[in-house]
Chain A
Amino acid sequence: MHELSITQSILDISLDKAKAAQAYKINKISLVIGELTGFVSECVQFYFDFLSKDSIADGATLNFKLVAGELRCRKCSTTFNPKDIMWVCPICQSRSVEVIGGRELYIESIEVETNGDKSPTKYSGS
């Protein structure tokens, strides 16, 4: 799996954006991950905790928004979510299909703390 290098990218991009916003802490990173990318979210948090030590992202939560795989049948144009690894049209049983969704792999947003931050709810309890 390529999770280690992906996790490093997630961290790099997030630190970059946080720095640009002059944030001193990253609390949360929201990711959008397509089901067809073969991406295993479990190990990413693990790698992340390891890689983010000594950075302002230490302790941040990763939030994964999974996007289902979506295929379109080339014969009858039905769109469907593949149930398993078999890509077969549920209407006409054709195997001639194209991928139209589920390849996403991006950072949607990050939640940070800045000195000018005016949302006190974030500090409750700490």
Chain B
Amino acid sequence: MEIKVLQNILGANEAIAAQNRQLLDEHKIAAINFMSSPGAGKTSLLLQTIKNLKSKVKIGVIEGDVASKLDSDKIKGEGVAVIQISTGSSCSLEAHMISLALKDLPLTDIDLLFIENVGNLICPAEFALGEHKKVVISSVPEGDDKPTKYPLIFTETDVVVINKLDLLPYVDFNLNNFRRALKGVNPKVKIFEVSCKTGEGLRNWYSWLLSEVKAITTR
């Protein structure tokens, strides 16, 4: 006999993501999901941000980027709470992994939580984690057609950080083409243009983060 199911395959993930979100809200923690191709600069942006904001807000990190074992020591060196998730062969963080990590973090002592996802522009678009904002980091050497090649993740994200601006003179990357392609699939997206190397453009990024923290803590 046939049984109608009509059930979302990712429903379990979404239910857990909703629980994570609720827990984060209860503790008034702003959670940011960092996504990018490998090497675009998630960890670099994280480290810069921690250095600059740790005296203003209490920061926590969930590190899911396999390539970042070394980096998680660097983050610890900054004195912020960090949980390293070993994702194994997984291509994306999933809500249940975040749920476990949240159990191990000092939630009452965190205002701003960064989640560094696995370096991949396809799979993380499918898995809600319970985050408040999605941030995609796209770097200049990757080319200005990234939003055209991976439209789904660029459609879903709240923010795009264009990183490695210092390399603009050396590569064929047209900022206008990038912005146009991005705004095409996502008219509401916020764009920051930065270099984690020189520090250019980071101030606006920090103000945005602080305003997100404020929005959540004063809610």
Interface residues of A (CB under 8 A from B): 1-2, 4-6, 9-10, 12-14, 17-18, 21, 23, 31, 36-38, 74, 85-87, 94-99, 105-114, 117, 119
The chain A residue sitting closest to B8, CB to CB, is A106
Interface residues of B (CB under 8 A from A): 1-13, 89-92, 94, 122-123, 125-127, 148-149, 151-152, 155, 180-181, 183-185, 187
Q: How far is the CA of A114 from the CA of B2 in the complex (A)?
A: 10
Q: How far is the CA of A95 from the CA of B181 in the complex (A)?
A: 7
Q: Find out whether the CB atom of B8 lies under 8 angstroms from the CB atom of A109.
A: no
Known: A87-B185, A94-B184. A109 touches B5 (CB 8 A): yes
B180 → chain A closest CB, angstroms: 7
Q: How far is the CA of A74 from the CA of B184 in the complex (A)?
A: 9
A46 → chain B closest CB, angstroms: 15
Q: Find out whether the CB atom of B127 lies under 8 angstroms from the CB atom of A2.
A: yes
Residue from the list B9, B122, B184 in contact with A95, Cβ < 8 A:
B184
Contacts of B180 in A (CB 8 A): 95
Q: How far is the CA of A94 from the CA of B187 in the complex (A)?
A: 13
Contacts of B90 in A (CB 8 A): 2, 4-5
A–B complex contacts, Cβ < 8 Å, 22 sampled: A2-B90, A6-B10, A9-B9, A13-B7, A13-B11, A74-B187, A85-B149, A87-B151, A95-B180, A95-B181, A96-B183, A96-B187, A105-B10, A105-B126, A106-B9, A107-B7, A108-B4, A109-B4, A111-B2, A112-B1, A112-B2, A113-B1
Q: Find out whether the CB atom of A14 lies under 8 angstroms from the CB atom of B5.
A: yes
Q: Find out whether the CB atom of A13 lies under 8 angstroms from the CB atom of B5.
A: yes
Contacts of A96 in B (CB 8 A): 183-185, 187
Q: Find out whether the CB atom of A21 lies under 8 angstroms from the CB atom of B3.
A: yes
Besides A12-B12, A105-B8, A110-B3, 14 more A-B contacts (Cβ < 8 Å) are A1-B122, A5-B90, A6-B9, A6-B10, A13-B7, A38-B125, A85-B151, A96-B183, A105-B9, A105-B126, A106-B6, A107-B9, A109-B3, A109-B5
Residue from the list B1, B94, B183 in contact with A114, Cβ < 8 A:
B1
Contacts of B122 in A (CB 8 A): 1, 38
